[in-house]
């Protein structure tokens, strides 16, 4: 069932979303060669908990051990943070993170370039970012979920990149993962109707290789089947009469196409995801 939110409830979700936006801005300078994903996880948890009443929404969710999903290079989503995993110059690191505040959840993801990355990686980041912008712009009352996926497809067409189709966005509210599912492909006018009061996580995931995926033996980490690099960007978005409202941006940045500024490396902006577990973290 799709749960419509009141303006006050949307504002409550946005308060948690603003914590995520601020977190991504603070995190950028810490995503540097030699940093461990465990250190990044610790920083993110401490930052979230430093806000009165806020807690990491992912920690313990379905048994996940971390406060964030930290996914490197060919890892698309659900990478488990560890003090033994360090990032290197030229890596791509996707951080997917949620906040629970006053009983409401928000969800966002950001992919950072670690130092200088190659041209293919810069293109991957740029196109995935543009796909998110286009998808958010399509999220208006009276359209359908299929219009969101179609916007992603139009952005990706002709770039040589592939949409990861087995991982999807999702509704957000009292739970991290709610109905409806929000695929990154679709046909205009198809799928559930977008109604005022819906809150959804829109999260394109793209890869240079094929769109096939597999899950590692840890039971969590989803990687590209061919080992090619991937990128992931995500915003929690409210469907309002005035148009899409990005809830995981700082208030002054909450227009449809705006994303928090990343500061780690060139082309660094980034990205969690919905999957068969009921959406992706």
Domains located in the chain, CATH noted: 7-253 (3.90.230.10)
Residue 281 is predicted with a pLDDT of 57
- How high is the pLDDT of residue 267? 29
- Write phi, then psi, for 144 (nearest 5 degrees): -130, 165
Would you state the pLDDT for residue 55?
Answer: 98
Mean pLDDT by 10 residues, the chain (281 residues): 97 97 95 98 98 98 98 98 98 98 98 96 97 98 98 98 98 98 98 98 96 98 98 98 92 41 29 40 57
């Amino acid at each position: 069932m799709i749960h419509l939110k009141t303006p006050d409830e949307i504002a409550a979700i946005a308060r948690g979303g603003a914590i995520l936006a601020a977190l991504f801005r603070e995190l950028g300078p810490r995503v540097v060669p030699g940093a461990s994903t465990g250190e990044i996880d610790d920083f993110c948890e401490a930052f979230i908990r430093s806000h009165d009443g806020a807690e990491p929404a992912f920690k313990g969710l379905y048994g996940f051990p971390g406060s964030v999903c930290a996914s490197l290079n060919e890892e698309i989503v659900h990478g488990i943070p560890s003090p033994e995993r360090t990032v290197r110059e030229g890596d791509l690191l996707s951080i997917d993170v949620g906040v629970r505040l006053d009983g409401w959840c928000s969800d966002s993801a950001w992919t950072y370039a670690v130092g200088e990355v190659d041209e293919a990686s810069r293109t991957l980041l740029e196109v995935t970012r543009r796909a998110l912008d286009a998808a958010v712009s399509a999220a208006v009352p009276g359209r359908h979920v299929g219009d969101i996926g179609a916007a992603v497809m139009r952005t990706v067409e002709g770039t040589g990149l592939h949409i990861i189709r087995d991982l999807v966005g999702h509704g957000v509210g009292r739970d991290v993962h709610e109905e409806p599912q929000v695929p990154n492909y679709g046909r205009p006018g198809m799928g559930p109707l977008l109604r005022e009061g819906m809150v959804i996580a829109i999260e394109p995931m793209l890869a240079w290789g094929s769109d096939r995926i597999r899950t590692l033996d840890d039971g969590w980490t989803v990687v590209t089947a061919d080992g090619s690099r991937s990128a992931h960007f995500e915003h929690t978005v409210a469907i309002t009469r005035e148009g899409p409202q990005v809830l995981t941006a700082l208030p002054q940045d909450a227009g449809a196409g705006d994303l928090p500024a990343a500061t780690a490396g060139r082309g660094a902006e980034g990205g969690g995801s919905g999957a068969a577990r009921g959406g992706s973290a």
